[in-house]
Amino acid sequence: MSKYFPEQFEEKWAQQWVADGLFQKTFDVEGQTLENKMYLLYAFAYPSGSGLHVGHVEPLTALDIMARYYRSIGKKVFFPVGWDAFGVPAENYAIKTGVPPVQTTKESIATFSRQIKRIGISYDWGAELATCHPGYYKWTQWLFLQLYKKGLAYKKDAPVNWCPSCQTVLANEQVVEGKCERCGTDVIQKKMDQWFFKITQYKDELISGLDQVDWPKATKQQQINWIGKSEGALIKFELCHSDPDVMSGEESRKDMDPSVSPQDDTGEIKVFTTAHDTIYGATFLVVAPEHEIINEILNPKSEILNNTQISNDQIQLIEQYINQAKSKTEEERLINKEKTGVFSGLYAFNPASQKEIPIWIADYVLAQYGTGAIMAVPGSDERDNQFAKKFELPITYVAQKNGSSDKDKFISFSNEIKVNPSQYMLINSGEFNGQDFTEGREGIMKKLEDMGVAKRETTYKLRDWLISRQRYWGAPIPIVYDPEGKAHMVKEEHLPWMLPTDVDFKPTGESPLRLSKEFKERVEKLYGKGWTPEYDTMDTFVDSSWYYLRYTDPRNENEFARTDAMKNWMPADFYMIGPEHIVLHLLYSRFFTKFLRDEGYLSVDEPFQKMRHQGMILGPDHRKMSKSKGNVINPDDVMKEYGADTLRLYEMFLGPIDQDKPWSVESVQGQYRFLKRAWSLFESLPPRPRQEVESTPPYKGGESKFEKALLLPKEEYSRRNVGDPLSEGGTKKDLPFEGSTRRGRDVSQLLHKTIKKVGSDIEQLKFNTAISAMMELLNKIEAELRMKNYELRIEDAKKFLKILSPFAPFMTEEIWRNQLGEKESIHTAPWPEVDESLLVESTITIPVQVNGKVRGRVVIGIGDDEESVVAAAMQDETIIAFIPEKKYKKIIYVKGKILNIIV
RNA sequence: GCCGGGGUGGCGGAAUGGCAGACGCGCAACACUUAAAAUGUUGUGAGCUUACGCUUGUGUGGGUUCGACUCCCACCCUCGGCACCA
């Protein structure tokens, strides 16, 4: 055996493992129930042209360590690979260069596969998938049709992001701060007929289902926030005749005449609020510029106009404002925080305060949320307050902090009221004055319900999922239109509904599929003259939100996946995915899972039982890696210098997997040294039987002290394999008996502790501490070997090699097969069993504190009681130096942990 | 503004109520070498001390406890997400 040269064997084993099909699932038999399974899933990768990044290596290695570990403790591990291969980058590249996306995608997949194999990821390549393959997207389209049949896929006119320069629609994720990510042009909203999936059907279950899964708390919270459930009330405000005089000044409560109710009903405005308890302070209403009431106002024939007197001037102002608001992008509305608005000319009746209040139109109210109309309470809402001040509208304060009466602070209370309602008191609220907000909130709700003007209501921020894309490189939407323009499903026998290839990639503002002659002809041929295809393709998130199901039965041509295969494997036991997928992919996947469950295909509610996010690998400068910053680390370079095992080990050692961590060029050395030292350890062990001891080549760099210690006389080798020199009955003539026994036991004990720790650390994803533990073990073995009165047993060396093998699969395999002459791969060997009897200690050292400060330590027997521990401490001179006259007030003894003496 | 994560040596980090800084990097001295690299040994939070040691120390301030990086309260800084969401 020579010096550690990973380049001499890593490539060889990488190819050998794949050729041997070492990691393919062979235990998936149709009709059989699977037990003891472990389905490990890594985020579906987009095969980008730039190849593997150090950021991919970390989660891949983590999962690979888990896969190798769980296999060796007897789990039936399934660790599949696939490619999220449709998407915008390949298409953009095609636009630039004319190279068809199918070609670039193939090349990229080949690069990725080679690199992933090279770092030793034990994927099951037999289940490899790509979403751009017709055998895959056939079932993406099938899924669309199932949703369509149930009314969960529908078409609707909707605004989309449009880049006027690129002449194309952009996905939300292509819009960066309101600009096109490619050309920097301002994105505008354009109304188009689009396909949606009705994810809102499952909005409540998408919240409650999170209780079933082991996901990071923050991720669950982000999903909950995204769904944005808020409970409040829907309140009806009746429209009434305008009489501006009524509104002048703030009347006192006494002026209120409950008999005064609006006589000339002309309609109503429904308002959604979560703060109905502030309704007495609602001094005006505001509707969004898109609100339906505006159509009434601007329609000369409408009833509303007949019943009110809105001047023509006012109507002109309204028209002007509406047009202005429409021309603004959503981004512009947000950036300009200055409130704008216009009086509608209408009044409504506040059912609580019994006042007539004006209705305003303003774009700070969002049409899409709630009812597109609000009751404005400028006394306790900051936005309403700004608006009221600007347009000189009345302000009524309805909340007061107990023991405070500072009017200016009332606004800032509003957020706190929801957190601590009992600390605030209602004022200017009729019969509710003096009640706290817990009591008043319920009372006011009841009153409004009794009046028949309000009901409890829940709203959500979650919108249906827009899946249409005016893009080429995606799965075609399997819909055709008859000559009248009515949509029909593509027949199942026509699936896969093939993506045409006769298209030009120049962006024209039209869906690229419109340019395909073949596509049009195909539809007419199959469905009749005058029929046309749907030209849009599906959002690539559709492809990537069900792939984990296809993995379970990836080559099935008749079904999406066998029901029993999905039943056997789902849910995925562990999913590692970047935090950027928290909202979209993970929410969509959960939606599909719930839909397919309801259709009877699946028996699970949630697709991913346990999920964690890998952190980002930052550049050495602690900033995000990017070419422009020049801080990119290329995994190929690291491998060239140190080998794949060092790269793997280093990324795992960096720190907790879910944390962002900077790369350190020097620190990589540490892992390389560790592997070199481990390699050297085995140089002294017996070589393969057919090899002569003398033929072992000397260390290239010369013998170190440590190596000299390792070089044992030839006859020692045979002796080792016969008897156990460390047991009482073993040969011990050359070794001091006391020393060898104690040291041998110490090392064995540490070995078994380490076996235990590495296993449990892997299960807890604490790869960094698992590696530290193995380093400590090696440090200890080396130190003992240096003492020359300890020798390493080959069985123990093998155990050490085995627990290192998930982390450094190449080096351990090379030693295992070449040096130790094993016939089967180390990766099929079982995990070493922990000898618990070795872990039992007879004596322990415990620290002794005096007044909470450690002053010394005593060695005690494992079963010693408090009395004898205290007695032992009182013998120790350094300890009693801190205890005047050996007198103490109190003793705290935590069995086996610590003794604290209070003086 | 709201939601969530985090703050420990020169650096990455370890310790989840019981010896703070495991493990690794870096640094220093020494050994090997003609020399360098590699490798090995020893040391390495700060302050004080010839030394044994002592004091101090986990963002800040307070609290609970015999004992707090760890639990509680308030605050500061930082990173990520959402945001005129009523």
Q: What is the pLDDT of residue A840?
A: 82
Tokens of A161: 């992001």
CB A740 within 7 Å, strand B: no
Is residue A862 helix, strand or coil? coil
Which residue, A123, A6, A113, A94, is CA-closest to A52? A113
**Which residue's CA lies closest to nucleotide B37 at its C1' atom?**
A701
CB A307 within 7 Å, strand B: no
Q: What is the pLDDT of residue A813?
A: 97
Q: Distance between CA atoms of A118 and A636, rounded to whole angstroms?
A: 10
Closest nucleotide to the alpha carbon of A364, via C1': B84
Task: Spell out which residues of A between 406 and 425 contact strand B, using CB within 7 Å.
Answer: 415
CA of A782: how far to CAs of A650, A738, A768, in Å? 22, 19, 21
CA of A505: how far to CAs of A48, A194, A518, A523, A730, in Å? 19, 22, 16, 22, 78
CB A889 within 7 Å, strand B: no
Distance A773 CA to B71 C1' (A): 29
Distance A704 CA to B34 C1' (A): 20
Cβ-count burial of A241 within 10 angstroms (0-12 exposed, 13-18 middle, 19+ buried)? middle
Q: What is the pLDDT of residue A173?
A: 55
Q: What is the pLDDT of residue A431?
A: 94
Residues A403, A408, A412, CA angle at the centre, nearest 5°? Answer: 80
Tokens of A612: 């964690």
Distance A386 CA to B3 C1' (A): 25
Closest nucleotide to the alpha carbon of A460, via C1': B85
Distance A671 CA to B39 C1' (A): 15
Closest nucleotide to the alpha carbon of A855, via C1': B19
Distance A852 CA to B62 C1' (A): 21
Strand B nucleotides within a 7 Å radius of protein CB atoms = 1-5, 11-15, 18-20, 22-26, 32, 37-41, 54-55, 66-68, 79-82, 84-86
Which residue, A650, A645, A675, A643, is CA-closest to A664? A650
Summary count for chain A: helices (H), strands (E)? 31, 32
Q: What is the pLDDT of residue A520?
A: 96
Closest nucleotide to the alpha carbon of A845, via C1': B19
Residue A617, beta-bridge partner list: A661
Q: Long-range contact list for A734-741, CB < 8 A, 24+ apart?
A: A735/A789, A735/A790, A735/A791, A736/A789, A739/A787, A739/A789, A739/A790, A740/A789, A740/A790, A740/A791
CB A656 within 7 Å, strand B: yes
**Phi and psi of A662, rounded to 5°?**
-80, 145
CB A852 within 7 Å, strand B: yes
Distance A191 CA to B19 C1' (A): 69
Residue A459 identity? T
Closest nucleotide to the alpha carbon of A857, via C1': B19
Task: Spell out which residues of A between 690 and 729 contact strand B, using CB within 7 Å.
Answer: 701-702, 704-706
Place of tokens 């309000």: A454
Place of tokens 């998936």: A28
Is residue A899 helix, strand or coil? strand
**Phi and psi of A230, rounded to 5°?**
-135, 135
DSSP assigned state of A786: H
Which residue, A572, A651, A578, A655, is CA-closest to A614? A578
Prior bond of A830 cis (ω within 30°): no
Tokens of A488: 């029909």
Closest nucleotide to the alpha carbon of A624, via C1': B79
Distance, CA of A262 to chain centre? 54
Residues of chain A predicted below pLDDT 50 = 244-265, 687-740
Place of tokens 């080096």: A811
Cβ-count burial of A245 within 10 angstroms (0-12 exposed, 13-18 middle, 19+ buried)? exposed
Place of tokens 């320069």: A165
Tokens of A221: 């919270």
CB A369 within 7 Å, strand B: yes
Which residue, A844, A819, A838, is CA-closest to A744? A838
Which residue, A121, A99, A8, is CA-closest to A49? A99
Please say whether the beta carbons of A741 and A727 come within 8 A. no
Q: Distance between CA atoms of A490 and A488, rounded to whole angstroms?
A: 6
Closest nucleotide to the alpha carbon of A459, via C1': B85
Tokens of A431: 């019969």
Residue A93 identity? Y
CB A232 within 7 Å, strand B: yes
Q: Distance between CA atoms of A542 and A547, rounded to whole angstroms?
A: 9
Distance, CA of A787 to chain centre? 50
Which residue, A125, A107, A129, is CA-closest to A47? A107
CB A339 within 7 Å, strand B: yes
